[in-house]
């Protein structure tokens, strides 16, 4: 896979999104053409409000999340709002863009995909980008390809 090219303004906006929602996890999609990102879609983290949200996780994770208050769930997990996702995919179709990046933030841990992130990675053609606010003053951003539960670093080039 070749490097992803992402406009600096969009990279800055990913960090801004993560900071706005801190301590809750943010999430969203980037779309483009031939590995060059052109569009940024912020998607609501619906883990605390969507009744399907809990079902996508495995039983151990459901138990763990179930023990938390609803609002606290969004500090440790994300679930993209399905209607907003559908609208983003529709916009990509109309603009002839492809899904390039799926991003979310980790507000208390490093920019590395968790076991749950890997288990729920159903889009092998999109890079998974994580913004870590573990160190609040110096956010870290890393991207990965996740295929068949294996994680490979993805190169990101700011343009």
Partner 1 sequence: MIKVRIPTPLRPLTKGQGEVESQGGSVEEMINLLDSAHPGLKGRLCDDKGELRRFVNIYVNEEDIRFLQGKATTLKDGDEVSIVPAIAGGR
CB of 150: closest distance to partner 1 in angstroms?
15
Q: Kindly indicate which of the ranges 15-23, 30-38, 82-90, 131-139 contains the residues binding partner 1, using the contact rule CB under 8 A.
A: 82-90
| Strand 150-154 with 140-147, pairing | antiparallel
Residue closer to partner 1, measured from CB, 124 or 153: 124
| Strand 140-147 with 127-132, pairing | antiparallel
Q: Is residue 8 helix, strand or coil? A: helix
Among 15, 16, 85, 97, binds partner 1 (CB under 8 A): 85
Radius of gyration of the chain (CA): 15
Strand partners, 40: 30
Cβ–Cβ under 8 Å, residues 143 and 153: yes
Q: Which positions lie near partner 1, rule CB under 8 A? A: 25, 27, 29, 43, 47, 52-53, 55-57, 61, 65, 76-80, 82-83, 85-86, 89, 93, 98-99, 102, 104, 106, 109, 113-114, 116-117, 120-126
């Amino acid at each position: 896979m070749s490097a992803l090219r992402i406009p600096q303004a969009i990279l800055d906006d990913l960090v801004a999104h993560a900071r706005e929602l801190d301590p809750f996890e943010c999430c969203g999609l980037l779309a483009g053409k031939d590995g060059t990102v052109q569009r940024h879609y912020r998607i609501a983290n619906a883990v605390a409000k969507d009744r399907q949200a809990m079902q996508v996780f495995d039983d151990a994770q459901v138990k763990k999340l179930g023990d938390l208050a609803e609002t606290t769930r969004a500090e440790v997990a994300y679930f993209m709002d399905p209607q907003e996702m559908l609208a983003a995919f529709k916009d990509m179709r109309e603009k002839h863009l492809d899904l390039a990046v799926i991003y979310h933030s980790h507000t208390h841990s490093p920019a590395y995909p968790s076991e749950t992130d890997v288990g729920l990675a159903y889009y092998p053609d999109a890079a998974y980008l994580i913004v870590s606010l573990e160190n609040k003053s110096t956010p870290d951003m890393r991207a990965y390809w996740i295929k068949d539960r294996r994680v490979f670093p993805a190169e990101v080039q700011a343009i």
